[in-house]
Amino acid sequence: MDKIHVRDIGLSCIIGVNEEERSEKQDVVINVTLHGDLGAACKSDDFADTVDYKAVEQSIVALVEDSEFYLIEALAEAIAQACLGFDRVEQVDVLVEKPGALRFARTVGVEITRFGNKIPETPVV
């Protein structure tokens, strides 16, 4: 499968399990890799044949900035499901990082991979 990367989306949201973490928005950094067949777009050079990654980013921004999750795992899942709702996205890798979550680490992150509901084609023998 072909890939489109959207990297380092810096946003703020309510995230965390402690009361002090939930009182103000915190920074998160999101990376997504959208997997799908981009062969038609490669041949046609037509926007209608590819994934609208601007719309994907706008969807992620709207989702995250209005969210209030306890776990970055749950936030990553919500982002993955939103991405899979776009045409031609068959698989998505989502990395959500929470800078400063640990005192001696630059960041903590959770990465998940999710697949769309499309049934893989069985090769003809």
* Per-residue model confidence (pLDDT) at position 100: 86
Domains of the chain: total: 1
Specify if 124 maps to a domain: no
Among the listed residues 3, 54, 98, 118, the single catalytic one is 98
Whether residue 85 lies inside any domain: the answer is yes
**Domain CATH code at residue 85:** 3.30.1130.10
98 is catalytic: yes
Please state the pTM of the whole predicted model. 0.91
With a cut of 70, list the residues of the chain below it in pLDDT. Answer: 118-125
Question: pLDDT at position 25, please?
Answer: 96
| Residue 118: predicted pLDDT | 60
pLDDT for 64-94, tens place per residue?
A: 999 999 999 999 999 999 999 999 999 999 9
Residue type, 62: A
* Of 50, 74, 60, nearest in space to 7 by CA: 60
Residue 123 included in any domain = no
Give whole-number Cα distances, 89 to 12, 79, 102, 103, 111, in Å: 25, 13, 33, 37, 18
